[in-house]
A and B are shown apart, each in its own frame.
Chain A
Amino acid sequence: MKHYEVEILDAKTREKLCFLDKVEPQATIAEIKNLFTKTHPQWYPARQSLRLDPKGKSLKDEDVLQKLPVGTTATLFFRDLGAQISWVTVFLTEYAGPLFIYLLFYFRVPFIYGHKYDFTSSRHTVVHLACICHSSHYVKRLLETLFVHRFSHGTMPLRNIFKNCTYYWGFAAWMAYYINHPLYTPPTYGAQQVKLALTIFVICQLGNFSIHMALRDLRPAGSKTRKIPYPTKNPFTWLFLLVSCPNYTYEVGSWIGFAIMTQCVPVALFSLVGFTQMTIWAKGKHRSYLKEFRDYPPLRMPIIPFLL
């Protein structure tokens, strides 16, 4: 069997970093990354980007050496992606924060509101409901991170955790401050408004969860396959007929529900910012689907049926 030789050069300086001989033709990029780590332990596989061209796209871990357009001596270019952190770690941290922080405000822990309010409880039902909704939302997210989601990428750049946590924790504190404030004003239309909003919230949470389960079932454990998602027997998934990312649609819906329920401007702003970000993601995902699948259903919009 003919063995390959692989030389790895720095993409910026073209410096020769590593030379591997006797590499199996069916070796994958993942295996080459592992070999590279042996000579440069500070560059663990997750932070390696290997490419055929210094300015080209990164090769995938599953790519096989033999199948690449290289001769028996392959030249790969290396770029350091920077310190990486696992998606799971980021998600758990960014979701645990709001769960905990909101409760600090709900229980009116000292030094937030005036001392005469320490550990007092709101007399408004909607405030207790809001706490249940917010808390269960983040518990749901934590459980999904641990048991439902199947991530395409193992890691993301380390700086993302600071950015993401600032966003989630910051908004959680801001919202929680007003909802649990002793001077909180319940919704203008009273119980009617709360009931309607709560219904929207619950339906959208169930919807969002249904979509997460449907997406999970598209992909076997440990794989990174990508398929077109379709509606299943679960009526919540029928939204796939109209949008590419119904999970985001339902998520926006949940927060709109929560905003109506609490009638609180910071919640509305949080929903708006989240909607903006999710729209960007949905459009990107939609574009990827269109590029990858010729037979992608034409009726579907990225996030809002018929509109966006």
Chain B
Amino acid sequence: MAAVAATAATKGNGGGSGRAGAGEGGGTRKRKGPGPVATAYLVIYNVVMTAGWLVIAVGLVRAYLAKGSYHSLYYSIEKPLKFFQTGALLEILHCAIGIVPSSVVLTSFQVMSRVFLIWAVTHSVKEVQSEDSVLLFVIAWTITEIIRYSFYTFSLLNHLPYIIKWARYTLFIVLYPMGVTGELLTIYAALPFVRQAGLYSISLPNKYNFSFDYYTFLILVMISYIPLFPQLYFHMIHQRRKILSRTEEHKKFD
């Protein structure tokens, strides 16, 4: 979900006039785009994020070569992963202050679901950190984000190489299912440890007259993938058809 959502609906991070992005069904809006200061800031932001995820990618490759196996690579990139994924919270702010023409609600949902997986599942349940499923979603996110942030960077500079646009709207076909699988398997792996430790759970009686069962919550999260993932996935497929066919008609991408 986090994998799917992040690419799907953000017009995000200053994709020029917003046509670049996989827009939510908001229709075309005649926006003037961010001003010069905001554009400069967004370019810097997107470049930094592209670099950050490249660091993670390189870190994964080096760790793999050093260890000779693909197991437990999470530990080698744990810090940059946490830093750069959490940094994406800024994107919510960008929408809120209007320098990026995406919906605050949609962006919040996407970023929070990523942040949730990083902190509330992987970080909090140490036992899953050595699971292979973690590598699955980390790789999916890494490739997706490198492409996504460079896409925004180039769009802001009005020089979008077709290969980046193609990659953004094509690789998701494999990366989304891959990421979703990794995410679901990781949550599933965390379940017994959450139950055992009573993690993030509170039961009655207590003075707040409130109860929360994190184990049940995680199961509900997993179930929510069933309606959400197909919607986001097919939205991207629809966007792909629209945007990639337009380019073939030699429409100028301003």
B-binding residues in A (CB < 8 A) = 178-179, 181, 183-185, 188, 262-266
Residue B207 at the A interface, CB < 8 A?
Answer: yes
What distance in Å separates the Cβ of B142 from its nearest Cβ neighbour in chain A? Answer: 36
Q: Inside 8 A of B204's CB, which chain A residues have their CB?
A: 178, 181, 183-184
Tell me, yes or no, whether B210 is within 8 Å of chain A by CB. Answer: yes
Q: How far is the CA of A254 from the CA of B204 in the complex (A)?
A: 26
What are 27 sample pairs from A and B whose C-beta atoms fall under 8 A apart?
A: A178-B204, A178-B209, A178-B210, A178-B211, A179-B209, A181-B204, A181-B209, A183-B204, A183-B205, A184-B204, A184-B205, A184-B209, A185-B206, A185-B207, A185-B209, A188-B207, A262-B209, A263-B207, A263-B208, A263-B209, A264-B208, A264-B209, A264-B210, A265-B208, A265-B209, A265-B210, A266-B209
B30 to chain A, nearest CB (A): 12
Interface string of B200-218 (1 = CB under 8 A from A): 0000111111110000000
| Residue ID in chain B nearest A175 by CB atoms | B209
Complex: how many Å from CA A178 to CA B177? 39
A266 touching B210, Cβ below 8 Å: yes
Complex: chain B residue closest to A179, CB-CB: B209
Chain A interface, >50% SS class: loop
Residues of B whose CB lies within 8 Å of any CB of A are 204-211
**B205 close to A185 (CB less than 8 A):** yes
Interchain CA distance A178-B207 in the complex, whole Å:
11
Report which residue of A188, A264, A265, A266 has the largest number of chain B beta carbons within 10 angstroms of its beta carbon. A265
**Complex Cα gap A183–B203 (Å):** 10
Shortest distance from the beta carbon of A47 to any chain B beta carbon, whole Å: 21
Complex Cα spacing A72 to B204, Å: 73
Roughly how many angstroms separate A183 CA and B202 CA in the complex, as a whole number?
13
In the complex, what residues of A have CB within 8 A of residue B209's CB? Answer: 178-179, 181, 184-185, 262-266
Minimal beta-carbon separation of A223 from chain B (angstroms): 36
Point out the residues of chain A lying under 8 angstroms from B208, CB to CB: 263-265
Interchain CA distance A178-B203 in the complex, whole Å = 11
In Å, the complex CA distance between A262 and B208 comes to: 9
Question: In the bound complex, how far is the Cα of B204 from the Cα of A185, in angstroms?
Answer: 9
Q: How far is the CB of A108 from chain B (nearest CB, A)?
A: 15
B210 contacts which chain A residues (CB < 8 A)? 178, 264-266
Provide the bound-state CA to CA distance between A160 and B178, in Å.
Answer: 36
Which residues of the partner chain B approach A185 to less than 8 Å between Cβ atoms? 205-207, 209
Chain A residues contacting B211 (CB-CB under 8 Å) are 178
- A180 smallest CB distance to B (angstroms): 10
Chain B residues near A184: list those with CB within 8 A: 204-205, 209
Interface centre among B207, B209, B211 (most CB of A within 10 A): B209
Which residues of the partner chain A approach B206 to less than 8 Å between Cβ atoms? 185
A181 CB contacts on chain B under 8 angstroms: 204, 209
Task: Give CA–CA (A181, B205) in the complex, Å.
Answer: 9
Nearest Cβ on chain A to B213's Cβ, whole angstroms: 13
CA gap between A188 and B206 in the complex, in Å: 11
Shortest Cβ distance from B212 into A: residue: A265
Q: Which residues of B are found within 8 Å of A264, using beta-carbon distances?
A: 208-210
CB distance from A123 to the nearest CB of B (A): 13
Output the least CB separation between A105 and chain B (Å): 13
Q: What's the Cα separation between A35 and B205 when bound, in Å?
A: 63
In the complex, what residues of B have CB within 8 A of residue A178's CB?
A: 204, 209-211
Q: Give the top 9 A-B pairs by smallest Cβ distance, nearest first.
A: A265-B210, A183-B205, A264-B209, A183-B204, A178-B209, A265-B208, A185-B205, A185-B207, A184-B209
Question: Which residue of chain A has the shortest Cβ distance to B204 in the bound complex?
Answer: A183
- A56 vs chain B, min Cβ distance (A): 16
- List residues of chain A with CB within 8 A of the CB of B205: 183-185
Q: How far is the CB of B89 from chain A (nearest CB, A)?
A: 20
Say how far B106's CB is from chain A's closest CB, in angstroms: 17
Q: Provide the bound-state CA to CA distance between A100 and B72, in Å.
A: 54
Which B residues lie within 8 Å of A263 (CB)? 207-209
Complex-state Cα separation, A181 to B209, whole angstroms: 9
Say how far A256's CB is from chain B's closest CB, in angstroms. 16
Kindly state the separation between the CA atoms of A179 and B210 in the bound complex, as whole angstroms.
9
Shortest CB–CB separation between residue A119 and chain B, in angstroms?
20
- How far is the CB of B212 from the nearest CB of chain A, in Å? 9
Q: How far is the CA of A121 from the CA of B209 in the complex (A)?
A: 17
Most buried by B among A188, A262, A264: A264
> What CA separation (Å) do A49 and B210 show in the bound complex?
46
Tell me the smallest distance from the CB of B224 to a CB of chain A, in Å: 15
With the chains together, A186 CA to B203 CA distance in Å?
A: 16
Q: How far is the CB of A229 from chain B (nearest CB, A)?
A: 32
- Shortest distance between the CB of B117 and any CB in chain A (Å): 24
Q: A183-B205, A264-B210 are in contact. List 16 more A-B contacts (CB 8 A).
A: A178-B204, A178-B209, A178-B210, A179-B209, A181-B209, A184-B204, A184-B205, A185-B206, A185-B207, A185-B209, A262-B209, A263-B208, A263-B209, A264-B209, A265-B208, A266-B209
B208 to chain A: closest residue by CB: A265
Instruction: Please measure, in the bound complex, the distance between the C-alpha atom of A262 and the C-alpha atom of B209, giving whole angstroms.
Output: 9
* A159 shortest CB reach to chain B, Å: 15
Minimal Cβ-Cβ distance residue in B for A178: B209
Q: Which residues of B contact A266 (CB under 8 A)?
A: 209-210
Give CA–CA (A265, B207) in the complex, Å: 9
